[in-house]
Structure 1
Amino acid sequence: MSGTQRTDEGRGRLGSTLSGIAVALGCVLFLGGFVWGAVLYQPYTVPTGSMAPTIGSGDRVLAQRIDGDEVRRGDVVVFKQKTWGDLPMVKRVVGVGGDRIACCEEGKLTVNGKEVAEPYLPQDKFTGTSSIPETTVPKGRLFLLGDERSGSLDSTVHLDDGQNGSVPRDAVKGRVDAVAWPMERFGMLERPEGFAGMPGGISEPGPLRLMVIAVVVGMVLVLGGGAYGPIAKRTGRRRGSGRTRETASAG
């Protein structure tokens, strides 16, 4: 066996080993990302346009399973409340226990006397509901509004329920991190900076980006590692044919 052949065989064995490692690692990342996501996230379909333009009617969203105590102002949450119909609903948290809420004179929201910037509201039309007096959110509860406030059945509609339109924290089933479908709306939800300076601040995004990266990298490794074998064989055949022609020419 010539030195060139031994070198080619050594390279082939190394390539096969690295290819196997890549495929194995890719499978771990790919499947691990999906399992991680299934444990931490729950998909929901939003039935109405009350959260437009942030989330449209029929959009499929991914909500991180969290405890109600983790909810912060500005979060878009999925919740169920019997007095609201006992069906999963999606609204934005604008006040927590102890906050004084006033909304929405000329579309303006104030929390504890301070106007809150809300860039997520529709910009092409008037977004205010009928003006409501300052309302205090009871302890352990949340005040919720839709981003499309001219047609959202939210806390402003339930003010006479004895709890100032609020819902208990334990009614929260998840915090929406991203729109998954349709593809043209795919992306992470922005955390509103208008609430950042308030006590408790705003929540940090969940690990969804890391999960997507793990799945994509895993898929690339599996495909790349799996493609190595056929490519290496084709390259080996070409080299072998080349050496045969060279030998024949020399003879």
Structure 2
Amino acid sequence: MGALVAAAVLAVVVRATLVDFYHIGSESMQPLLTPGDGIMVDRTAYRGGEVRRGDVVVFDGRGSFLPYHRPDAVDALLRALRLTGDDTSYVKRVIAVAGDTLECCDADGFLLLNGEPLDEPYVYGGDAASTIDFVATVPEGRVWVMGDHRSASADSRALLGAPGGGMIAVDRILGRVTSVVWPLDRRAAVPREDG
């Protein structure tokens, strides 16, 4: 019994501090990530480092995508042990970081990042960069995120006008997606884009 308790505690500590595993449940990050994929997340990616444009991240949507509520200790433990669902975590791509101005769109349909057309080879085939016109300047401590399958993604664009203006607080980022590990025939690293 003691060994099982020790193993459970070790699993919680590893998943909370080093690496974690998530299942993809939506189409919002296709073609990179598809429903049913299992992904590994580096929980140490941003300790001492900055979030970069192009990073695919997992973040806690409470306080931005969802109303904020403070979880109690039991809720936190059950989530860490994966004994309850985790419907507050999201996977998106960082498009703009603090100080950036992002705008949709130029005459050719490209997003403009700091006035320059943004090359986005990862966007789902046939999707526009965005069908929602916007201009947003990202404040310190926040990032702008979007799904790669733009027509199937609720992301920062959907929260324009909400508190925070659609931006995600950097301290709500749980880690960077490093690889697809399941199913086996889809195993692959998730490369970092230049950004």
TM over 0.5: yes
- Partner SS, residue 140 of structure 2: coil
How many residue pairs match? The answer is 158
Aligned partner of 2:128 in structure 1 is: 127
Q: Which amino acid aligns with 2:32?
A: T
Q: Distance in 1 between matches of 2:128 and 2:97?
A: 22
1:74 corresponds to which residue? 54
In structure 2, how many angstroms separate the alpha carbons of the residues matched to 1:107 and 1:56? 25
- The reply to whether residue 110 of structure 1 matches residue 112 of structure 2 is yes
Given that residues 136 and 164 in structure 1 are in contact (C-alpha distance below 8 angstroms), is that contact kept between their aligned partners in structure 2? no
Structure 1 residues 147-197: Cα deviation after superposition (integer angstroms, max 9, x where no partner): 00011000000011132210100000010011111122210012223x2xx
Of the structure 1 ranges 158-167 and 143-152, higher mean CA displacement relative to structure 2 is found in 158-167
Pairwise CA distance, 1:127: 3.0
For the aligned residues, what is the CA RMSD?
A: 2.2
Match of 1:174 in 2: 175
C-alpha contact 2:56 2:177 (8 A) present in aligned 1: yes
Tell me the alpha carbon deviations over residues 96-152 of structure 1, each in whole angstroms, 9 at most, x when there is no partner.
1111011356652221111121111122x1333323232101111010000000110
Check whether the contact 2:103–2:135 (CA below 8 A) recurs between aligned residues: yes
Q: Which amino acid aligns with 1:81?
A: G
Q: 2:42 aligns with which of 60, 64, 70?
A: 64
Unaligned runs of 5+ in 2: 1-13, 67-86
What TM-score comes out, normalization by structure 1 length? 0.58
- Offset, 1:46: 1.3
Query: More helix per residue: 1 or 2?
Result: 1
Counterpart position of 2:65: 84
* Residue deviations 1:21-78 (CA, integer Å, cap 9, x gap): xxxxxxxxxxxxxxxx866311111110100001011210001003375311110000
Bigger share in strand: 2
- 1:14 paired residue number: none
**Normalising to structure 2: TM-score of the pair?**
0.73
Looking at CA atoms only, which structure, 1 or 2, has the larger radius of gyration? 1
Give the percent of matched residue pairs that are identical in Structure 1 and Structure 2: 37
CA distance in 1, matches of 2:168, 2:109: 22
